[in-house]
């Protein structure tokens, strides 16, 4: 099977190629999830976030056959750290993709790619092209949605969705504080617009993008969930709890309520890229480990 390649067209945030990549990631994970570390929800969340290296997104490369994407070489927040996703029938492209990454996606000769620890073929191709594994890893955990998800909220707390009550100022505060940023959150118009962009994806479902509301009206916790009606899997990203409200079960409640909602639309599993004890404590189980491989200099 022949494939041609081209660079990602970064003409606007949610342009045609954005949608094509979403469709590609959905298609290759139908039936069996083969890229748990990079599901379509992670791609959508990545594109939704305004970052400093957005102008470099036109170096993301797509391989196509008859106009259909069959492989992707991309990066997330850090240019030089590459994620590669390939259709099962086009794995012969792995060497070509790695060579492209070496030539175009390295930073001063530094390049890392992430590889599933069970993918011996990919590991062999990487090793033969000058890469070696590092200690740094990413882990994926999965939650079986067959069980019931019951939770209790402290008195005076409630759950709302972005469909019912989207307050960008409150969202900004919980995201800032929930990810342990220091100092007071920037509440400028520019920052609020930045947060608005994060929630602007056409693939975001407001009814499953949730916040736990404290008695004083603040967002105490937040859970984003990405799901396509009929898919058997959902993707959790991001989850944040304000430090003032930790230890109260609010993050658990937000996740449980979100997965309860997507169960009605066909989801049977929920994935999260994390090995935090918090997720294991609420029922997630280790699923996949991937290792960063670095180009030897």
Q: Give the angle 188-189-195 at the CA atoms, nearest 5°.
A: 95
- pLDDT of 52: 84
CB 55: neighbour CB atoms within 10 A? 8
Topology classification of domain 147-267: Aminopeptidase (3.40.630)
Same fold for the domain at 4-139+290-295 and the one at 147-267? yes
| DSSP code for 78 | S
* CATH number assigned to the domain with residue range 4-139+290-295, chosen from the 4 options 3.90.700.10, 3.40.390.10, 3.40.630.30, 3.10.50.40: 3.40.630.30
Return the domain boundaries, the chain: 4-139+290-295, 147-267
- Block means of pLDDT (10 residues each) for the chain, 297 residues, are 93 96 97 96 97 92 97 96 98 98 96 98 98 98 97 98 97 98 96 97 98 98 96 97 98 98 96 98 98 94
The pLDDT value recorded for residue 230 is 87
> SS3 of 127, please?
helix
Cis peptide before 197 (omega within 30 of 0): no
> Do the bridges between strand 81-86 and strand 112-116 make them parallel or antiparallel, or are there none, so unpaired?
parallel
User: In this predicted structure, what is the pLDDT of residue 4?
Assistant: 97
């Amino acid at each position: 099977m022949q494939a041609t390649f081209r660079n990602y067209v970064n003409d606007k945030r949610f342009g045609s190629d954005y949608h094509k990549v979403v469709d590609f990631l959905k298609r290759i994970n139908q039936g069996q999830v083969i890229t748990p570390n990079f599901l379509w929800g992670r791609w959508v969340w990545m594109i939704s976030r305004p970052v400093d290296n957005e102008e470099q997104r036109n170096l993301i490369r797509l391989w196509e056959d008859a106009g259909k994407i069959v492989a992707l070489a991309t990066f997330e927040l850090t240019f030089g750290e590459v994620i590669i996703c390939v259709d099962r029938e086009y794995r012969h492209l792995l060497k070509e993709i790695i060579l492209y990454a070496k030539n175009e996606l390295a930073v001063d000769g530094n390049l890392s790619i992430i590889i599933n620890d069970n993918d011996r073929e990919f590991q062999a191709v990487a090793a033969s092209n000058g890469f070696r594994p590092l200690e740094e890893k990413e882990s994926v955990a999965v939650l079986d949605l067959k069980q019931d998800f019951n939770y209790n909220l402290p008195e005076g707390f409630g759950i709302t969705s972005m469909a019912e009550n989207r307050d960008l100022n409150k969202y900004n505060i919980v995201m800032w504080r929930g990810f342990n940023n220091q100092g007071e959150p920037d509440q400028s118009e520019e920052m609020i617009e930045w947060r608005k962009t994060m929630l602007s994806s056409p693939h975001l479902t407001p009814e499953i993008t949730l916040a736990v509301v404290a008695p004083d009206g603040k967002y105490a916790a937040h859970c984003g969930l990405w799901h396509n009606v009929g898919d058997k899997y959902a993707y959790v990203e991001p989850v944040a709890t304000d430090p003032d409200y930790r230890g109260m079960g609010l993050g658990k409640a937000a996740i449980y309520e979100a997965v309860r909602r997507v169960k009605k639309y066909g989801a049977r599993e929920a994935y999260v890229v994390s090995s935090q004890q918090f997720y294991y404590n609420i029922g997630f189980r280790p699923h996949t480990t991937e290792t960063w491989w670095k180009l030897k200099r």
